Chain A
């Protein structure tokens, strides 16, 4: 399964909230069960946010198994480190993981974030002005949205791998070690990286667990509160990627000049921005930092802390944005190794046209319009489709039945009962009771 989410059918009440909230309309209720189209799911987690019955979960491996596995390397998304603790401190959670027996590899990971920022800056500088802006590939949900709905923008994607993946490659290359790796992820989109890696053939992550799961056990075991006077974050730059604008700031720092960029967080803003780029309206902009979640990964659906509180913690960090001489030299060496570069192309995902044949598609489109005009247009979702339009579209494709719409069903019943009523008023030409009488009469006449 490639999906980042799973539906617990036993908890689902089929209230249709999820199918109507899905931005890519990947969900349907079919034969009484919520179905998710793997191809269309981008892992944004919107369905998880809206489900009143908590029937949708992020797919993850068992944390109990992971924590007992001493031969495992554990790495976390930056947003993990600000889920608890007092503002301006981030060391506590790494310490908890260390006390559980996990090695601290944050040096490698933070260097990988520096490297990614540097590589992105170089790609921006290498492009001709008319080929800009480049779009960040950090949020896998945004990446998938582009593959699905904006294939024309694929050429704008920055060709730099996720720094989380680069960090593991770097650690492996340096130490020569080969243990399995687990990722602590803030959302289904990142957990999906394991089976759907971006820009590489195979992901470094063998296991995924969500932030909320880890934090909950750490808190319940009293392991999340300790503040040690240790500046785990070293320079803190990489942690800022969890917050809107952090990536841009980091890139600009490596470029040594200001960057004209637009930061868009939240589904609606991201969609609007990509539409504007498609219309060619963002001429002078060099970089688009897009994140599917409000505020950035702090707002990921599988985090545990209020995004506002983690925001405060990050804002109070003492960030050193200037790379020193050694850091710069090390980065340039690493840059030359191409460790950071996409090794597999990002491809467009098939567009859902009505038919592969344009004439057939036109026929179906006409049929779809016809059906749509007969539907009530209130998008109630009772039919199991996200909207009346989607219902009309699916019907035109030959999927589902018109009577799945309760209004259409009611119409049919009304028609049918009118017919039945009319029929009840009619008498057959040869009612049995009359026949005997008539026969009697006729017999009488004949006699």
Chain B
């Protein structure tokens, strides 16, 4: 029988200290499942950036991890203000070439493009005033 392993996490929008908690847990779970280290690294980046977005922009929300069959799925849902222009959010401040951007750290618009870069499949839906849903999928075996 092949089934999926699912775990979910609540991300508190007021708990700035707790940023990184969900992604740390996700990393630990993937390690115990014996997922290869490269995939763990990518999943950890996706989870971390998604978690940051939840706390900074979404006012908190929930995240879930689903492993198998065939892929790792990370879902982040919030009921925050939403993103007015998704295309813009995906490109703003994005540059792999410029170290300056990275040096600026949080809020430099690295989050979403970084998630996309580390996902095999990526889906972002958002409605202003209602919230945002982010789905990222990382394939266990690339064909």
**B residues lining the A interface (CB < 8 Å):** 1-3, 5, 23, 29, 31-35, 37-38, 40-41, 44-45, 48, 67-68, 96, 99-103, 105, 114
Our count of residue pairs bridging A and B at CB distance below 8 angstroms stands at: 67
What are 5 inter-chain pairs, A to B, with CB distance below 8 A? A152-B40, A280-B114, A352-B32, A359-B2, A393-B32
What is the distance, in angstroms, from A27's C-beta to the closest C-beta of chain B? 19
Contact: B34 with A279, CB < 8 Å? no
Contact: B40 with A362, CB < 8 Å? no
Contact: B33 with A361, CB < 8 Å? yes
Chain B positions within 8 Å of A365 at CB level: 5, 29, 32-33
Contact: B5 with A152, CB < 8 Å? no
Contact: B5 with A348, CB < 8 Å? no
Chain A positions within 8 Å of B23 at CB level: 279
Q: Of B3, B45, B103, which is within 8 A of A284 by CB? A: B103
Contact: A362 with B102, CB < 8 Å? no
Asked whether any CB of chain B lies closer than 8 Å to the CB of A354, the reply is yes
In the docked arrangement, what's the CA distance between A354 and B1, Å? 18
In the docked arrangement, what's the CA distance between A291 and B99, Å? 26
Q: Majority SS of interface residues in chain B?
A: helix
Chain A positions within 8 Å of B100 at CB level: 284
Number of contacting residues on A, CB 8 A? 26
A279 touching B48 in the complex, CB below 8 Å, given contacts A355-B34, A365-B32: yes
Residue on A with the closest CB to B31?
A351
Contact: A362 with B5, CB < 8 Å? yes
Q: Mark A148-160, 1 if CB is under 8 A from B, else 0.
A: 0001100000000
Asked whether any CB of chain B lies closer than 8 Å to the CB of A435, the reply is no
Contact: A279 with B99, CB < 8 Å? no
In the docked arrangement, what's the CA distance between A352 and B68, Å? 19
Contact: A366 with B37, CB < 8 Å? no
Contact: B33 with A354, CB < 8 Å? yes
Contact: B37 with A351, CB < 8 Å? yes
What is the distance, in angstroms, from B73's C-beta to the closest C-beta of chain A? 14
In the docked arrangement, what's the CA distance between A358 and B45, Å? 22
In the docked arrangement, what's the CA distance between A100 and B40, Å? 54
Chain A positions within 8 Å of B41 at CB level: 152, 278
Q: Of B33, B34, B38, B68, which is within 8 A of A152 by CB? A: B38
User: Which of B34, B68, B102 gathers most chain A CB within 10 Å?
Assistant: B34
Asked whether any CB of chain B lies closer than 8 Å to the CB of A283, the reply is yes
Contact: A279 with B45, CB < 8 Å? yes
Q: Of A130, A361, A393, which is within 8 A of B34 by CB? A: A361
Instruction: Across the A-B interface, give the 8 residue pairs with the lowest CB-CB distance, nearest first.
Output: A283-B102, A353-B34, A284-B99, A151-B37, A362-B5, A152-B41, A284-B103, A361-B33
Residue on B with the closest CB to A396?
B32
What is the distance, in angstroms, from B40's C-beta to the closest C-beta of chain A? 7
What is the distance, in angstroms, from A391's C-beta to the closest C-beta of chain B? 14
Contact: A281 with B33, CB < 8 Å? no
Contact: A129 with B3, CB < 8 Å? no
Chain A positions within 8 Å of B2 at CB level: 359
User: Which of B1, B35, B41 gathers most chain A CB within 10 Å?
Assistant: B41
What is the distance, in angstroms, from A201's C-beta to the closest C-beta of chain B? 25
**Which parts of A251-282 form the interface with B (CB within 8 Å)?**
278-282
User: Which of B2, B48, B114 gathers most chain A CB within 10 Å?
Assistant: B48
Chain A positions within 8 Å of B48 at CB level: 279
